[in-house]
Amino acid sequence: MKNEFKIIANLLPEQSRVLDVGCGDGTLIEALIKQKNIDARGIELEEKKVKQCISKGLSVIQGNAETELGQFPDKAFDFAVLSQTLQAFYKPDNVLNELLRIGKKVIISIPNFGYWQVRTSLLFFGKMPVTKSLPDSWYNTPNLHMCSIKDFYHFCDKKKIKMDKIIGINNEKISSINRINLEMKNLLSEVGIFLIS
């Protein structure tokens, strides 16, 4: 399981109710159920991945998170998790509002556009960056709304969303992010994980 999922799993208390939005083949959900006895559900767009989840006995529904989160009641889950997909929605701010409505807390991870490799790609080569966490070219990337850790931090500030915890990942290294080290971590982290409410 990738490092990011391990960090997310650590943030989630045992036996909580969790919705994994864009759960893919269900790797995270499966781990949460097995390791922490978490009541984990998922929603996924791709039919093939949904089938994989169902075959593992996971409760995953096929659907588009952009338009179908409305079916869940307010505070239906202790946590809603969104791993590296916020930037792929047409209206990320709407999706975020929905997540904050259906989850008591929300865990969001974002591929950081402020990462130094991304910056140097544009600065020195004048080309759209292709990195480990941004593997697609400009013409086939699903990402519509890229942002940096700093962008998302300021966005939460402005929308008065409480940031309980922010974690930066650089390869295997993880570090805590706060207002003071934000500039530095925005440069050095490949992925940012926000626990918000």
x/- site string to other proteins, residues 61 to 90, per CB under 8 A?
xxx-------xxx--x--------------
Q: In whole angstroms, how close is the CB of 88 to other proteins at the nearest point? A: 21
- The 10 Å Cβ neighbour count of residue 37 is 11
Residue among 56 and 165 whose Cβ is closer to other proteins: 56
Q: Which of 60, 86, 134, 193 touches other proteins by CB under 8 A?
A: 60
- Please identify, among the stretches 45-53, 84-92, 139-147, 162-170, the one whose residues bind other proteins according to the rule CB under 8 A: 45-53
**Spacing of C-alpha 162 from chain mean position:** 16
50 lines the binding site for other proteins (CB under 8 A): yes
Backbone torsions φ then ψ of 86, nearest 5 degrees: -55, -40
Give CA torsion, residues 119, 120, 126, 127, to 10 deg: -70
Q: How far is the CB of 107 from other proteins (least distance, A)?
A: 20
Rule CB under 8 A: say whether 38 interacts with other proteins.
Answer: no
Q: Is 45 in the site for other proteins (CB under 8 A)?
A: no
Residue type, 50: V
Tokens of 140: 């086939």
Counting contacts by CB under 8 A, is residue 27 touching other proteins? no
Contact status: 40 vs other proteins (CB under 8 A) = no
Alpha-carbon gap, residue 32 to 12, rounded angstroms: 9
3-class DSSP state for residue 10? helix
Q: Which of 23, 29, 41, 106 binds other proteins (CB under 8 A)?
A: 41
- DSSP letters of 52-114? HHHHTT--EEE--HHHHGGGSPTT-EEEEEEES-GGGSS-HHHHHHHHHHHEEEEEEEEE-TT
- Residue 55 touching other proteins (CB under 8 A): yes
51 belongs to the binding site for other proteins (CB under 8 A): yes
Could you list the residues that contact other proteins (CB under 8 A)?
41, 47, 50-51, 53-63, 71-73, 76
